[in-house]
Amino acid sequence: MGRERKKTEELSGKDKPLYMISVVSELLGVHPQTLRLYEREGFIRPRRTRGNTRLYSERDVEDVRRVLHLTRDLGVNLAGVEVILEMRRKMERMQSEVEERIDFLHREMKKEFVRHRSRSALVKVESGRSVKKAD
């Protein structure tokens, strides 16, 4: 679904190819031809072995479930699924950008707070009384 593909040996977690088409077909209650169609439409991108066997990851299975929910439960056609999934990808990218900007602002605010505190720190002078540190 538009995600960058890494070498199989580098993959782990949800992206690790684990399941053959027959397993995914049975698990989700769909015909293998449906999975091939979803691949042609670009909704999923299963890995291929050297022998050209499709291997599906947990993420691929989640993506198929999402497509099935849209088509079966909500009555969306495949063209609509494509639009919805693209909007979802854009929203995820935007969310990631917002989170990065928030992290940047937190870091900058922390720096400014530390800088401001160091300017207004109290220092002890020889007379024994505390005064504000001059800039």
Residue 31 lies in a domain: yes
Q: Range of 30's domain?
A: 8-103
Residue 50 lies in a domain: yes
Radius of gyration over every alpha carbon of the chain, rounded to an integer in angstroms: 27
Residue 89 lies in a domain: yes
CATH of the domain at 78: 1.10.1660.10
Residue 123 lies in a domain: no
Q: Return the pLDDT at 47.
A: 97
Residue 2 lies in a domain: no
Number of domains in the chain: 1
Structure letter (DSSP) for residue 8: G
The number of C-alpha atoms within 13 Å of 11 and in the hemisphere containing its C-beta is 18
Residue 135 lies in a domain: no
Q: Return the pLDDT at 131.
A: 53
Q: Return the pLDDT at 132.
A: 58
Mean pLDDT by 10 residues, the chain (135 residues): 51 90 97 98 96 96 97 97 96 98 96 82 60 55
Strand 54-56 to strand 122-124: parallel, antiparallel, or no bridges (unpaired)? unpaired
